[in-house]
Structure 1
Protein backbone atom coordinates (compact mmCIF):
# COMPACT_ATOMS: atom_id res chain seq x y z
CA UNK A 1 0.00 0.00 0.00
CA UNK A 2 1.26 3.45 -0.92
CA UNK A 3 2.20 5.84 1.87
CA UNK A 4 -0.14 8.80 2.50
CA UNK A 5 0.69 12.17 0.98
CA UNK A 6 0.32 15.46 2.84
CA UNK A 7 -0.16 18.85 1.17
CA UNK A 8 -0.28 22.36 2.60
CA UNK A 9 -2.50 25.06 1.17
CA UNK A 10 0.37 26.68 -0.71
CA UNK A 11 0.47 23.53 -2.84
CA UNK A 12 3.65 22.10 -1.32
CA UNK A 13 3.94 18.39 -0.54
CA UNK A 14 5.28 17.70 2.95
CA UNK A 15 6.53 14.44 4.43
CA UNK A 16 3.56 12.94 6.25
CA UNK A 17 5.86 12.26 9.23
CA UNK A 18 6.85 15.94 9.44
CA UNK A 19 5.02 17.73 12.29
CA UNK A 20 2.68 20.47 11.09
CA UNK A 21 0.28 20.61 14.07
CA UNK A 22 1.11 22.01 17.51
CA UNK A 23 0.48 19.83 20.55
CA UNK A 24 -2.09 22.38 21.78
CA UNK A 25 -4.02 22.50 18.49
CA UNK A 26 -7.71 22.54 19.40
CA UNK A 27 -8.43 20.07 16.64
CA UNK A 28 -6.24 17.56 18.50
CA UNK A 29 -7.04 18.28 22.14
CA UNK A 30 -10.78 19.00 21.72
CA UNK A 31 -11.80 17.82 18.26
CA UNK A 32 -12.58 21.47 17.47
CA UNK A 33 -12.45 21.47 13.70
CA UNK A 34 -14.05 20.15 10.54
CA UNK A 35 -13.11 17.93 7.65
CA UNK A 36 -14.45 16.54 4.43
CA UNK A 37 -13.37 13.63 2.27
CA UNK A 38 -13.65 12.89 -1.42
CA UNK A 39 -12.81 9.96 -3.64
CA UNK A 40 -10.16 10.28 -6.34
CA UNK A 41 -9.90 7.56 -8.94
CA UNK A 42 -8.26 6.89 -12.26
CA UNK A 43 -10.85 7.25 -15.03
CA UNK A 44 -11.39 5.10 -18.10
CA UNK A 45 -9.10 7.44 -20.04
CA UNK A 46 -6.39 7.05 -17.41
CA UNK A 47 -6.80 10.62 -16.13
CA UNK A 48 -7.51 11.07 -12.40
CA UNK A 49 -10.92 12.39 -11.39
CA UNK A 50 -11.75 14.05 -8.07
CA UNK A 51 -15.35 13.04 -7.44
CA UNK A 52 -17.79 15.84 -6.57
CA UNK A 53 -14.90 18.16 -5.81
CA UNK A 54 -16.87 21.40 -5.63
CA UNK A 55 -19.65 19.84 -3.57
CA UNK A 56 -17.15 18.64 -0.95
CA UNK A 57 -15.54 22.07 -0.77
CA UNK A 58 -19.02 23.59 -0.38
CA UNK A 59 -19.78 21.21 2.49
CA UNK A 60 -16.47 22.02 4.16
CA UNK A 61 -17.47 25.69 4.06
CA UNK A 62 -20.89 24.92 5.57
CA UNK A 63 -19.32 22.84 8.32
CA UNK A 64 -16.87 25.63 9.15
CA UNK A 65 -19.71 28.14 9.32
CA UNK A 66 -21.67 25.93 11.74
CA UNK A 67 -18.64 25.70 14.05
CA UNK A 68 -17.96 29.44 13.63
CA UNK A 69 -14.53 28.71 12.22
CA UNK A 70 -12.77 30.98 9.73
CA UNK A 71 -13.97 30.41 6.19
CA UNK A 72 -11.76 27.80 4.50
CA UNK A 73 -9.20 29.09 2.02
CA UNK A 74 -10.89 27.52 -0.97
CA UNK A 75 -8.17 28.46 -3.42
CA UNK A 76 -5.61 27.02 -1.01
CA UNK A 77 -7.47 23.72 -0.71
CA UNK A 78 -7.70 23.63 -4.51
CA UNK A 79 -3.92 24.01 -4.70
CA UNK A 80 -3.45 21.24 -2.15
CA UNK A 81 -5.81 18.88 -4.02
CA UNK A 82 -4.08 19.55 -7.34
CA UNK A 83 -0.66 18.93 -5.79
CA UNK A 84 -1.76 15.64 -4.24
CA UNK A 85 -3.36 14.37 -7.44
CA UNK A 86 -0.27 15.30 -9.46
CA UNK A 87 2.03 13.46 -7.03
CA UNK A 88 -0.09 10.32 -6.56
CA UNK A 89 0.84 7.01 -8.20
CA UNK A 90 -2.49 5.92 -9.67
CA UNK A 91 -0.83 2.93 -11.30
CA UNK A 92 -0.11 1.50 -7.87
CA UNK A 93 -3.28 2.77 -6.14
CA UNK A 94 -6.06 3.63 -8.62
CA UNK A 95 -8.46 4.81 -5.89
CA UNK A 96 -7.65 7.14 -3.01
CA UNK A 97 -9.33 9.40 -0.47
CA UNK A 98 -8.41 13.06 0.01
CA UNK A 99 -9.30 14.47 3.44
CA UNK A 100 -9.57 18.23 3.76
CA UNK A 101 -8.95 19.34 7.35
CA UNK A 102 -9.52 22.69 9.07
CA UNK A 103 -9.08 23.21 12.83
CA UNK A 104 -9.39 26.25 15.08
CA UNK A 105 -5.64 26.15 15.57
CA UNK A 106 -3.49 26.45 18.67
CA UNK A 107 -5.22 27.19 21.95
CA UNK A 108 -2.73 30.01 22.50
CA UNK A 109 -3.78 31.66 19.24
CA UNK A 110 -2.19 32.13 15.86
CA UNK A 111 -4.98 31.18 13.49
CA UNK A 112 -6.48 28.09 11.95
CA UNK A 113 -4.65 24.95 10.88
CA UNK A 114 -5.42 23.59 7.42
CA UNK A 115 -4.07 20.79 5.26
CA UNK A 116 -5.09 17.98 2.90
CA UNK A 117 -4.15 14.32 3.28
CA UNK A 118 -4.36 11.67 0.55
CA UNK A 119 -4.32 7.94 1.29
CA UNK A 120 -5.29 4.76 -0.57
CA UNK A 121 -8.93 3.73 -0.36
CA UNK A 122 -9.09 0.86 2.11
CA UNK A 123 -9.32 -2.68 0.76
CA UNK A 124 -12.36 -3.33 2.97
CA UNK A 125 -14.28 -0.45 1.39
CA UNK A 126 -13.59 -1.80 -2.09
CA UNK A 127 -14.59 -5.34 -1.06
CA UNK A 128 -17.82 -4.16 0.59
CA UNK A 129 -18.99 -2.60 -2.67
CA UNK A 130 -19.18 -6.10 -4.12
CA UNK A 131 -20.08 -8.38 -1.21
CA UNK A 132 -22.24 -5.91 0.74
CA UNK A 133 -22.38 -5.26 4.48
CA UNK A 134 -24.04 -6.92 7.44
CA UNK A 135 -25.33 -4.17 9.72
CA UNK A 136 -26.59 -3.78 13.26
CA UNK A 137 -28.98 -1.13 14.57
CA UNK A 138 -27.74 0.99 17.48
CA UNK A 139 -29.40 3.76 19.46
CA UNK A 140 -28.08 7.29 19.04
CA UNK A 141 -29.74 9.01 22.00
CA UNK A 142 -31.39 11.94 20.21
CA UNK A 143 -34.25 12.24 17.75
CA UNK A 144 -33.33 13.95 14.49
CA UNK A 145 -35.71 16.87 14.92
CA UNK A 146 -34.39 17.44 18.44
CA UNK A 147 -30.81 17.64 17.15
CA UNK A 148 -31.84 19.99 14.36
CA UNK A 149 -33.21 22.40 17.01
CA UNK A 150 -29.98 22.32 19.05
CA UNK A 151 -27.23 24.13 17.12
CA UNK A 152 -24.68 23.37 19.86
CA UNK A 153 -24.93 19.69 18.82
CA UNK A 154 -23.63 20.78 15.38
CA UNK A 155 -26.33 19.24 13.17
CA UNK A 156 -25.23 19.16 9.56
CA UNK A 157 -21.54 19.69 10.33
CA UNK A 158 -18.82 17.18 9.48
CA UNK A 159 -16.75 17.86 12.57
CA UNK A 160 -13.55 16.23 13.82
CA UNK A 161 -15.48 15.01 16.90
CA UNK A 162 -15.90 11.54 15.41
CA UNK A 163 -15.14 9.36 18.42
CA UNK A 164 -18.76 8.24 18.92
CA UNK A 165 -19.03 7.23 15.28
CA UNK A 166 -15.80 5.27 15.45
CA UNK A 167 -16.86 3.65 18.73
CA UNK A 168 -20.08 2.49 17.06
CA UNK A 169 -18.09 0.95 14.19
CA UNK A 170 -15.80 -0.85 16.66
CA UNK A 171 -18.78 -2.14 18.63
CA UNK A 172 -20.28 -3.51 15.42
CA UNK A 173 -17.04 -5.23 14.43
CA UNK A 174 -16.66 -6.78 17.89
CA UNK A 175 -20.09 -8.36 17.47
CA UNK A 176 -19.52 -9.66 13.94
CA UNK A 177 -21.09 -6.86 11.91
CA UNK A 178 -19.60 -4.69 9.18
CA UNK A 179 -21.44 -1.44 9.88
CA UNK A 180 -24.15 0.39 11.81
CA UNK A 181 -27.34 2.33 11.23
CA UNK A 182 -28.37 4.56 14.11
CA UNK A 183 -31.93 4.59 15.47
CA UNK A 184 -33.52 7.51 17.34
CA UNK A 185 -35.23 7.12 20.73
CA UNK A 186 -38.57 7.41 18.92
CA UNK A 187 -37.64 4.44 16.75
CA UNK A 188 -36.80 6.22 13.50
CA UNK A 189 -33.89 5.14 11.34
CA UNK A 190 -31.20 7.81 11.01
CA UNK A 191 -27.80 7.42 9.32
CA UNK A 192 -24.68 5.30 9.63
CA UNK A 193 -21.51 6.51 11.35
CA UNK A 194 -20.04 7.29 7.93
CA UNK A 195 -22.90 6.57 5.54
CA UNK A 196 -26.47 7.27 4.44
CA UNK A 197 -29.21 4.66 4.25
CA UNK A 198 -31.40 4.09 1.18
CA UNK A 199 -34.21 1.52 1.25
CA UNK A 200 -36.16 -0.08 -1.62
CA UNK A 201 -39.74 -0.48 -0.47
CA UNK A 202 -41.98 -1.80 -3.22
CA UNK A 203 -39.87 -0.19 -5.93
CA UNK A 204 -39.65 3.20 -4.16
CA UNK A 205 -36.24 4.42 -3.05
CA UNK A 206 -36.59 5.92 0.41
CA UNK A 207 -34.08 7.57 2.72
CA UNK A 208 -34.53 8.94 6.25
CA UNK A 209 -35.59 12.54 6.65
CA UNK A 210 -32.59 14.83 6.95
CA UNK A 211 -33.42 16.47 10.30
CA UNK A 212 -30.20 16.39 12.31
CA UNK A 213 -28.43 14.30 9.64
CA UNK A 214 -25.32 15.31 7.72
CA UNK A 215 -26.18 16.05 4.09
CA UNK A 216 -24.82 13.24 1.91
CA UNK A 217 -23.16 14.26 -1.34
CA UNK A 218 -23.44 10.70 -2.68
CA UNK A 219 -27.17 10.80 -1.92
CA UNK A 220 -27.43 14.13 -3.74
CA UNK A 221 -25.72 12.49 -6.71
CA UNK A 222 -28.21 9.60 -6.65
CA UNK A 223 -31.22 11.89 -6.21
CA UNK A 224 -30.11 14.01 -9.16
CA UNK A 225 -29.43 11.12 -11.56
CA UNK A 226 -32.04 8.52 -10.50
CA UNK A 227 -34.77 9.81 -12.88
CA UNK A 228 -32.56 8.74 -15.81
CA UNK A 229 -33.19 5.16 -14.66
CA UNK A 230 -36.89 5.76 -14.02
CA UNK A 231 -36.31 6.04 -10.27
CA UNK A 232 -36.84 8.72 -7.65
CA UNK A 233 -35.53 9.13 -4.12
CA UNK A 234 -37.96 10.29 -1.44
CA UNK A 235 -37.37 11.35 2.17
CA UNK A 236 -39.58 9.57 4.71
CA UNK A 237 -39.64 8.62 8.36
CA UNK A 238 -38.51 4.99 8.36
CA UNK A 239 -38.60 2.42 11.14
CA UNK A 240 -36.48 -0.69 11.68
CA UNK A 241 -39.48 -2.76 10.52
CA UNK A 242 -39.48 -0.81 7.23
CA UNK A 243 -35.88 -1.84 6.73
CA UNK A 244 -36.39 -5.48 7.69
CA UNK A 245 -39.41 -5.78 5.38
CA UNK A 246 -37.75 -3.96 2.49
CA UNK A 247 -36.93 -5.30 -0.95
CA UNK A 248 -33.31 -4.31 -0.41
CA UNK A 249 -31.21 -1.53 1.07
CA UNK A 250 -27.84 0.18 0.65
CA UNK A 251 -25.37 2.33 2.53
CA UNK A 252 -24.00 5.28 0.53
CA UNK A 253 -20.76 7.13 1.28
CA UNK A 254 -18.16 9.19 -0.53
CA UNK A 255 -15.41 6.55 -0.49
CA UNK A 256 -17.23 3.23 -0.57
CA UNK A 257 -19.92 4.79 -2.82
CA UNK A 258 -22.49 1.98 -2.51
CA UNK A 259 -22.68 -1.14 -0.37
CA UNK A 260 -25.71 -3.40 -0.37
CA UNK A 261 -27.08 -4.27 3.06
CA UNK A 262 -27.02 -8.05 3.22
CA UNK A 263 -28.57 -8.44 6.68
CA UNK A 264 -29.91 -6.49 9.66
CA UNK A 265 -28.96 -7.90 13.07
CA UNK A 266 -28.61 -11.31 11.45
CA UNK A 267 -31.83 -11.21 9.40
CA UNK A 268 -31.01 -11.53 5.68
CA UNK A 269 -32.23 -8.89 3.24
CA UNK A 270 -33.00 -9.59 -0.42
CA UNK A 271 -31.07 -8.06 -3.28
CA UNK A 272 -33.12 -5.22 -4.72
CA UNK A 273 -33.91 -5.49 -8.44
CA UNK A 274 -32.68 -1.89 -8.64
CA UNK A 275 -29.19 -2.76 -7.42
CA UNK A 276 -27.67 -2.79 -10.95
CA UNK A 277 -29.23 0.61 -11.70
CA UNK A 278 -27.81 2.18 -8.54
CA UNK A 279 -24.40 0.77 -9.36
CA UNK A 280 -24.54 2.38 -12.79
CA UNK A 281 -25.75 5.69 -11.42
CA UNK A 282 -22.99 5.89 -8.81
CA UNK A 283 -20.29 4.45 -11.09
CA UNK A 284 -19.49 1.60 -8.73
Structure 2
Protein backbone atom coordinates (compact mmCIF):
# COMPACT_ATOMS: atom_id res chain seq x y z
CA UNK A 1 0.00 0.00 0.00
CA UNK A 2 1.54 3.29 -1.14
CA UNK A 3 0.17 6.83 -1.43
CA UNK A 4 1.68 9.80 -3.28
CA UNK A 5 0.84 13.49 -3.14
CA UNK A 6 2.45 15.85 -5.63
CA UNK A 7 3.19 19.41 -4.55
CA UNK A 8 1.86 21.90 -7.08
CA UNK A 9 3.90 25.01 -7.92
CA UNK A 10 3.09 28.26 -9.68
CA UNK A 11 5.06 28.09 -12.95
CA UNK A 12 5.74 31.82 -12.91
CA UNK A 13 6.90 32.31 -9.31
CA UNK A 14 7.88 28.75 -8.35
CA UNK A 15 5.86 29.09 -5.15
CA UNK A 16 4.01 26.06 -3.80
CA UNK A 17 0.24 26.43 -4.17
CA UNK A 18 -1.16 23.12 -2.96
CA UNK A 19 -1.07 19.38 -3.55
CA UNK A 20 -2.92 16.62 -5.36
CA UNK A 21 -2.99 12.90 -4.77
CA UNK A 22 -1.56 10.87 -7.65
CA UNK A 23 -1.27 7.26 -8.76
CA UNK A 24 1.70 5.79 -6.89
CA UNK A 25 2.34 3.36 -9.76
CA UNK A 26 2.40 6.03 -12.47
CA UNK A 27 5.49 7.72 -13.91
CA UNK A 28 5.64 11.00 -11.98
CA UNK A 29 9.26 12.20 -12.06
CA UNK A 30 11.07 13.49 -15.16
CA UNK A 31 14.42 11.86 -15.89
CA UNK A 32 16.07 15.29 -16.07
CA UNK A 33 14.99 16.26 -12.55
CA UNK A 34 18.04 17.39 -10.61
CA UNK A 35 16.96 15.32 -7.64
CA UNK A 36 17.48 12.21 -9.76
CA UNK A 37 20.53 13.28 -11.76
CA UNK A 38 22.46 15.23 -9.09
CA UNK A 39 20.89 14.43 -5.73
CA UNK A 40 20.16 18.17 -5.61
CA UNK A 41 17.36 18.25 -3.09
CA UNK A 42 16.32 17.70 0.50
CA UNK A 43 13.93 15.37 2.27
CA UNK A 44 12.41 14.34 5.58
CA UNK A 45 10.84 11.08 6.76
CA UNK A 46 8.15 11.06 9.44
CA UNK A 47 6.48 8.11 11.10
CA UNK A 48 2.76 7.40 11.09
CA UNK A 49 1.57 5.58 14.21
CA UNK A 50 -2.06 4.85 15.08
CA UNK A 51 -3.28 7.50 12.65
CA UNK A 52 -0.93 10.26 13.83
CA UNK A 53 1.97 11.74 11.86
CA UNK A 54 4.60 12.16 14.55
CA UNK A 55 6.92 15.15 15.07
CA UNK A 56 5.54 16.75 11.90
CA UNK A 57 6.32 20.33 12.92
CA UNK A 58 9.93 19.43 13.76
CA UNK A 59 10.30 17.68 10.41
CA UNK A 60 8.87 20.70 8.58
CA UNK A 61 11.28 23.02 10.41
CA UNK A 62 14.20 20.81 9.45
CA UNK A 63 13.01 20.67 5.82
CA UNK A 64 13.02 24.48 5.73
CA UNK A 65 16.49 24.59 7.31
CA UNK A 66 17.92 22.06 4.84
CA UNK A 67 16.36 23.92 1.90
CA UNK A 68 17.93 27.15 3.14
CA UNK A 69 21.37 25.50 3.32
CA UNK A 70 21.04 24.35 -0.32
CA UNK A 71 19.60 27.72 -1.38
CA UNK A 72 16.42 26.02 -2.60
CA UNK A 73 13.08 27.87 -2.66
CA UNK A 74 11.78 28.00 0.89
CA UNK A 75 9.10 25.34 1.42
CA UNK A 76 5.70 26.67 2.53
CA UNK A 77 5.03 24.69 5.75
CA UNK A 78 1.25 25.01 5.33
CA UNK A 79 1.30 23.42 1.88
CA UNK A 80 3.64 20.63 2.90
CA UNK A 81 1.77 19.99 6.16
CA UNK A 82 -1.51 19.55 4.29
CA UNK A 83 0.08 17.14 1.82
CA UNK A 84 1.72 15.02 4.53
CA UNK A 85 -1.49 14.83 6.53
CA UNK A 86 -3.46 13.86 3.43
CA UNK A 87 -1.06 11.00 2.76
CA UNK A 88 -1.24 9.94 6.41
CA UNK A 89 -5.04 9.95 6.33
CA UNK A 90 -5.07 7.88 3.14
CA UNK A 91 -2.72 5.29 4.64
CA UNK A 92 -4.76 5.10 7.83
CA UNK A 93 -7.96 4.65 5.83
CA UNK A 94 -6.32 1.63 4.16
CA UNK A 95 -5.56 0.06 7.55
CA UNK A 96 -1.88 1.03 7.88
CA UNK A 97 -1.10 1.28 11.60
CA UNK A 98 2.65 2.00 11.33
CA UNK A 99 3.79 3.87 8.27
CA UNK A 100 6.62 5.88 6.80
CA UNK A 101 5.99 9.23 5.09
CA UNK A 102 8.83 10.73 3.07
CA UNK A 103 8.60 14.26 1.68
CA UNK A 104 11.03 15.50 -0.93
CA UNK A 105 11.91 18.89 -2.45
CA UNK A 106 14.30 19.10 -5.43
CA UNK A 107 15.65 21.97 -7.52
CA UNK A 108 13.45 20.74 -10.35
CA UNK A 109 14.11 19.92 -13.98
CA UNK A 110 17.56 20.89 -15.21
CA UNK A 111 17.44 24.26 -16.92
CA UNK A 112 14.12 25.18 -15.34
CA UNK A 113 13.17 27.46 -12.46
CA UNK A 114 10.34 25.54 -10.80
CA UNK A 115 11.13 23.06 -8.01
CA UNK A 116 9.71 19.56 -7.73
CA UNK A 117 8.07 18.22 -4.59
CA UNK A 118 6.23 15.14 -3.49
CA UNK A 119 5.14 13.16 -0.45
CA UNK A 120 5.33 9.36 -0.48
CA UNK A 121 3.75 7.19 2.19
CA UNK A 122 3.85 3.44 2.70
CA UNK A 123 3.60 0.83 5.44
CA UNK A 124 6.70 0.72 7.65
CA UNK A 125 8.91 -2.39 7.83
CA UNK A 126 8.62 -4.59 10.91
CA UNK A 127 11.33 -3.35 13.27
CA UNK A 128 10.39 -5.62 16.19
CA UNK A 129 13.74 -7.44 16.15
CA UNK A 130 15.74 -4.19 16.09
CA UNK A 131 13.68 -2.74 18.94
CA UNK A 132 13.98 -5.81 21.14
CA UNK A 133 17.10 -7.84 20.27
CA UNK A 134 19.08 -4.73 19.32
CA UNK A 135 21.60 -3.86 16.62
CA UNK A 136 25.32 -4.48 16.15
CA UNK A 137 27.40 -1.41 15.31
CA UNK A 138 30.67 -0.67 13.60
CA UNK A 139 32.43 2.67 13.96
CA UNK A 140 33.40 4.27 10.63
CA UNK A 141 35.47 7.39 10.04
CA UNK A 142 33.40 10.03 8.29
CA UNK A 143 36.53 11.78 7.06
CA UNK A 144 35.72 15.22 8.47
CA UNK A 145 36.72 16.98 11.68
CA UNK A 146 33.99 17.55 14.26
CA UNK A 147 33.96 21.31 13.44
CA UNK A 148 33.39 20.83 9.70
CA UNK A 149 30.12 22.78 9.70
CA UNK A 150 32.03 25.87 10.84
CA UNK A 151 35.17 25.41 8.74
CA UNK A 152 33.57 24.17 5.49
CA UNK A 153 29.86 25.09 5.25
CA UNK A 154 29.83 24.25 1.52
CA UNK A 155 30.02 20.55 2.47
CA UNK A 156 26.43 20.91 3.75
CA UNK A 157 27.09 18.96 6.93
CA UNK A 158 23.86 18.98 8.91
CA UNK A 159 21.56 19.26 5.89
CA UNK A 160 19.29 16.33 5.08
CA UNK A 161 20.03 16.07 1.37
CA UNK A 162 19.16 13.46 -1.23
CA UNK A 163 22.88 12.69 -1.67
CA UNK A 164 22.77 9.47 0.35
CA UNK A 165 25.23 7.35 -1.64
CA UNK A 166 27.85 7.60 1.12
CA UNK A 167 25.35 6.56 3.79
CA UNK A 168 24.25 3.55 1.75
CA UNK A 169 27.89 2.59 1.15
CA UNK A 170 28.53 2.76 4.90
CA UNK A 171 25.65 0.37 5.58
CA UNK A 172 27.03 -2.07 2.99
CA UNK A 173 30.40 -1.86 4.72
CA UNK A 174 28.71 -2.64 8.04
CA UNK A 175 27.12 -5.75 6.49
CA UNK A 176 30.52 -6.86 5.18
CA UNK A 177 31.83 -6.61 8.74
CA UNK A 178 28.94 -8.63 10.16
CA UNK A 179 27.12 -5.66 11.69
CA UNK A 180 23.67 -4.16 11.27
CA UNK A 181 24.34 -0.44 11.42
CA UNK A 182 26.99 2.28 11.55
CA UNK A 183 28.01 5.01 13.93
CA UNK A 184 30.12 7.67 12.24
CA UNK A 185 33.16 9.11 14.01
CA UNK A 186 34.85 12.41 13.10
CA UNK A 187 38.43 12.32 11.83
CA UNK A 188 39.52 13.78 15.18
CA UNK A 189 37.79 11.10 17.21
CA UNK A 190 34.30 12.28 18.21
CA UNK A 191 31.07 10.31 17.91
CA UNK A 192 28.63 11.75 15.37
CA UNK A 193 25.49 9.94 14.14
CA UNK A 194 24.32 6.92 12.19
CA UNK A 195 23.41 7.06 8.48
CA UNK A 196 19.75 7.36 9.50
CA UNK A 197 19.83 7.71 13.28
CA UNK A 198 20.90 9.63 16.38
CA UNK A 199 22.99 8.12 19.18
CA UNK A 200 21.72 8.22 22.78
CA UNK A 201 23.76 6.99 25.76
CA UNK A 202 22.75 6.36 29.37
CA UNK A 203 25.31 6.97 32.10
CA UNK A 204 23.65 6.36 35.44
CA UNK A 205 20.28 8.13 35.22
CA UNK A 206 21.53 10.65 32.65
CA UNK A 207 20.79 10.48 28.93
CA UNK A 208 23.26 12.17 26.57
CA UNK A 209 23.64 12.59 22.82
CA UNK A 210 26.28 14.20 20.59
CA UNK A 211 26.11 17.98 20.28
CA UNK A 212 24.20 19.24 17.25
CA UNK A 213 26.94 21.71 16.21
CA UNK A 214 29.08 18.84 14.91
CA UNK A 215 27.66 18.90 11.39
CA UNK A 216 25.01 16.29 12.24
CA UNK A 217 21.24 16.37 12.02
CA UNK A 218 19.30 17.51 15.06
CA UNK A 219 17.25 14.37 15.77
CA UNK A 220 13.50 14.96 15.77
CA UNK A 221 12.74 11.65 17.50
CA UNK A 222 15.62 12.13 19.93
CA UNK A 223 14.20 15.55 20.86
CA UNK A 224 10.80 14.00 21.63
CA UNK A 225 12.51 11.23 23.59
CA UNK A 226 14.45 13.77 25.67
CA UNK A 227 11.27 15.76 26.35
CA UNK A 228 9.62 12.60 27.69
CA UNK A 229 12.75 11.64 29.64
CA UNK A 230 12.99 15.00 31.36
CA UNK A 231 9.33 14.78 32.39
CA UNK A 232 10.04 11.27 33.70
CA UNK A 233 12.96 12.49 35.82
CA UNK A 234 15.94 11.62 33.59
CA UNK A 235 18.54 14.41 33.23
CA UNK A 236 19.57 14.95 29.61
CA UNK A 237 22.47 16.63 27.84
CA UNK A 238 24.32 17.31 24.59
CA UNK A 239 28.07 16.68 24.72
CA UNK A 240 31.25 15.96 22.81
CA UNK A 241 31.46 12.17 23.05
CA UNK A 242 34.19 9.71 22.15
CA UNK A 243 34.28 5.94 21.53
CA UNK A 244 35.50 5.59 25.12
CA UNK A 245 32.26 7.23 26.31
CA UNK A 246 30.27 4.72 24.27
CA UNK A 247 32.22 1.81 25.74
CA UNK A 248 31.73 3.11 29.28
CA UNK A 249 28.02 3.90 28.97
CA UNK A 250 25.50 1.77 30.85
CA UNK A 251 23.35 1.50 27.73
CA UNK A 252 23.24 2.86 24.19
CA UNK A 253 20.56 3.27 21.54
CA UNK A 254 20.12 4.41 17.96
CA UNK A 255 17.04 6.61 17.64
CA UNK A 256 15.25 7.39 14.37
CA UNK A 257 11.86 8.45 13.06
CA UNK A 258 10.46 5.17 11.74
CA UNK A 259 12.48 2.50 13.56
CA UNK A 260 12.21 4.53 16.81
CA UNK A 261 14.55 3.21 19.54
CA UNK A 262 16.91 0.31 18.83
CA UNK A 263 19.28 -0.76 21.62
CA UNK A 264 22.94 -1.28 20.74
CA UNK A 265 23.92 -4.86 21.60
CA UNK A 266 27.45 -4.91 20.19
CA UNK A 267 30.10 -2.42 19.07
CA UNK A 268 32.94 -3.59 16.83
CA UNK A 269 32.10 -7.19 17.72
CA UNK A 270 32.17 -6.57 21.48
CA UNK A 271 28.87 -7.51 23.11
CA UNK A 272 27.27 -5.10 25.53
CA UNK A 273 24.27 -5.19 27.83
CA UNK A 274 20.82 -4.05 26.68
CA UNK A 275 18.49 -2.11 28.97
CA UNK A 276 15.37 -3.90 27.77
CA UNK A 277 13.00 -2.31 30.30
CA UNK A 278 14.00 1.26 29.47
CA UNK A 279 14.00 0.50 25.74
CA UNK A 280 10.40 -0.66 26.02
CA UNK A 281 9.46 2.47 27.94
CA UNK A 282 11.13 4.64 25.31
CA UNK A 283 9.27 3.00 22.43
CA UNK A 284 5.95 3.08 24.26
CA UNK A 285 6.42 6.80 24.91
CA UNK A 286 7.21 7.47 21.26
CA UNK A 287 4.26 5.37 20.07
CA UNK A 288 1.94 7.37 22.33
CA UNK A 289 2.73 10.67 20.62
CA UNK A 290 -0.23 12.29 18.89
CA UNK A 291 1.76 14.97 17.06
TM-score (norm 1): 0.91
Contact 2:53–2:85 under 8 Å retained in 1: no
Alignment of 1:88-237 (within 5 A): 88-89=91-92, 92-123=95-126, 125-210=127-212, 211-237=214-240
Structure 1: give runs of 5+ residues left out of the alignment. Answer: 43-47
The alignment partner of 2:4 has SS state of strand
Misfit runs of 4+, over 6 Å = none
Contact 2:254–2:263 under 8 Å retained in 1: yes
Q: CA deviation at 1:274?
A: 4.0
Relative distance call for 1:88 and 1:281 in structure 2 (3 A) is closer
Contact 1:99–1:118 under 8 Å retained in 2: yes
Q: CA deviation at 1:89?
A: 4.7
The alignment partner of 1:6 has SS state of strand
2:64 is matched with 61
Distance 1:204 1:78 in 2: 34
Q: Once the two structures are superposed, what CA deviation does each residue of 1:198-245 show, in whole Å capped at 9, x if it has no partner? A: 111233212112221111111111222212221022112211122122
The equivalent position to 1:17 in structure 2, one of 16, 25, 34, is 25
The alignment partner of 1:207 has SS state of strand
Contact 1:97–1:120 under 8 Å retained in 2: yes
Alignment of 1:77-96 (within 5 A): 77-89=80-92, 92-96=95-99
Q: CA deviation at 1:8?
A: 1.4
Relative distance call for 1:21 and 1:110 in structure 2 (3 A) is farther
Compare 204-213 and 177-186 and name the one that shifted more. Answer: 204-213
Q: CA deviation at 1:254?
A: 0.7
The alignment partner of 1:88 has SS state of helix
1:45 is matched with none
Contact 1:11–1:82 under 8 Å retained in 2: no
2:283 is matched with 279
Relative distance call for 1:173 and 1:108 in structure 2 (3 A) is same
Distance 2:151 2:136 in 1: 32
Contact 1:11–1:83 under 8 Å retained in 2: no
Cα RMSD between the aligned structures? 1.8
Compare 61-70 and 205-214 and name the one that shifted more. Answer: 205-214
The equivalent position to 2:35 in structure 1, one of 23, 27, 41, is 27
Q: Once the two structures are superposed, what CA deviation does each residue of 1:135-178 show, in whole Å capped at 9, x if it has no partner? A: 11111001221233321111221111111011111211232211
1:73 is matched with 76
Distance 2:122 2:283 in 1: 24
The alignment partner of 2:147 has SS state of helix
In the comparison of the two structures, how many residue pairs are matched?
276
Contact 2:146–2:188 under 8 Å retained in 1: no
Q: CA deviation at 1:92?
A: 4.3
TM-score (norm 2): 0.89
